[in-house]
Each structure stands twice: as structure tokens, then as C-alpha cells.
Amino acid sequence: MNCERQLKAASEAFFDAFSSNTTPINLLSYFSTTCPIILQHAPANCPHPHTSRLVGGNALRSYFDLLATHWSRSDAKIRHAPQADADTRSVVLGASITWMWRKSGRKWTEDFTWTLEFDDALKIVSFVARTVSGPGTCVMRAVDHEPAMQDRASTHWQASM
């Protein structure tokens, strides 16, 4: 199998695991243990994306633990065929995913572009997620708002009728 096909296959395998709510410990198996890991997840229009850049295995584990604690993922779709570059050992993959808050059950969809870079063993060394839908859809900027006081009072009043 040529290098570009291997890179695409490795990217798609990681996407499948990510989108199926694979446990954080199992997601870590897709990442290099011999190179420092770079992770970044921010809106594409963020003026300072480097401020959301995390480095190292502990940061990666914390990222996946955070996602697993607060949200579940569903309806993941690759929007266009992954583009692989054998020279840089990277793949760009555009996709969308529906996030659901575990606490409230509220849902939204995030459209994103992943840029994944791999080591010689086809393990990820850089994982950059850029949210291309509105900045409010970036899971790393998500806020689970409580219904407004007036909405809660109205719901309570209707329920007591």
C-alpha cells in the first residue's frame, strides 16, 4: 500500500473511533508515544489560535477526558475525501459531528477541518481541529445555557395547569 493510502486509512480509522465515542484511553492508541504531541481545537476565525495549542500526552488525555465527561458524539460525517500529502505525512479531513451535552441533552452540529500529521509508524503527532461553522459551534467554546428565568417560569406554570 502506498504512503498516501496508508495515511488516509490511518486518518479514517481515527475518525471512526472518535465519532463512535471510543473511550479516551483507546483514542490515545492512535497517537505517537515517541514524539511530542501537538493538539489544537479552535474556531477557524480565531485571531490567536496558538492560545488553544496544547502539547504533550497529558494534555491530549485531558482533552479526550473533557470531551467524554461533558458530551457525546453522533451523526459524524466526512464531508469530502481526505487529502493526503506523503511528503509532509499529513492528511486534511473535513467533517461534521453532532455534540450533545450529557447534562441537559442539548445538541448542536460542529463542522470542522482536521489536519493530522503522522510519524513513521502512522501514529498522530499533530492534531489540529479548526471549526469552520460558526465560532459558537466549536465544542471547546461550548456553553450549556440554562433556560431563561421567564422560560422556566412559563414551563412550570404550563406544567401545573
pLDDT in tens, 100-129: 999 999 998 999 999 999 999 999 999 999
pLDDT tens across 72-90, in order?
999 999 998 999 999 999 9
Mean pLDDT in residue range 34-44: 89
Tell me what pLDDT residue 37 has.
96
Tell me what pLDDT residue 114 has.
95
Mean pLDDT in residue range 38-59: 84
Please tell me the distance from the alpha carbon of residue 16 to that of residue 37, in angstroms, as a whole number.
20
Please tell me the distance from the alpha carbon of residue 130 to that of residue 160, in angstroms, as a whole number.
45
Tell me what pLDDT residue 153 has.
47
> Given a cut of 50, is residue 160 above it in pLDDT?
no
pLDDT tens across 127-155, in order?
999 988 877 787 777 778 776 554 544 44
Query: What is the pTM for the complete model shown?
Result: 0.84
**Contact in structure between 79 and 94 (CB atoms under 8 Å):** yes
Nearest to 102 by CA among 39, 26, 21: 21
**Residue owning grid cell 485531558:** 62
